[in-house]
Amino acid sequence: MLTALLPPERIRVPLGSHSRHALLRELVDLALPDADAATAETVFQSVLAREALASTAMGDGLAVPHGRTDAVTGLHMAAGLVGAMDDYSAPDGKPVRAVFLLITPPSDGGAHLKVLARLARLMRRDELRVALFAATDAASFAAVLQRAAAL
């Protein structure tokens, strides 16, 4: 499932942003490369609104920012690795290292929850998390997701 939603062109290693706000914008642009400015802004605002409710940092170096908006049809994702980001609050105090952005329309709640659950299961596996953090480019990041899909 994740490999179909996250082809290497939707993965960036490393992501270039150094603040949470800039990171979210970068991920939206990566997830929706062909979106017009108004659509990209609407999606970005939906992600910011969700993030304002509570940080989407899950601990163990993982963050899964997400948003739901009628500006998209279907599920869209982007992902990558970041350096230390001081303004991304994780419940365990560990810096966020891997980020997966998930965008869905409000009507697609089932798929939204299924992807969030799959990412949480993936990142609980120490060997996969370590391999993901060690990825040096989009292809090696995608290869870790491919291995995870086989488990």
Identify whether 112 is a catalytic site residue.
no
Instruction: Identify the active-site residue in 21, 66, 76, 112.
Output: 66
Q: Which residue has the tokens 């910011």?
A: 48
Strands 11-12 and 98-104: unpaired
Residues 33, 12: contact at Cβ < 8 Å?
Answer: no
- Tokens for 106, please give them: 């409000």
Closest Cα to residue 1, out of 115, 78, 92?
A: 115
Specify whether the backbone of 60 is left (phi greater than 0), alpha (psi in -120 to 50) or beta.
Answer: left
Report the first-to-last Cα separation within the chain, whole angstroms. 12
Tell me which residues are annotated as active site.
66
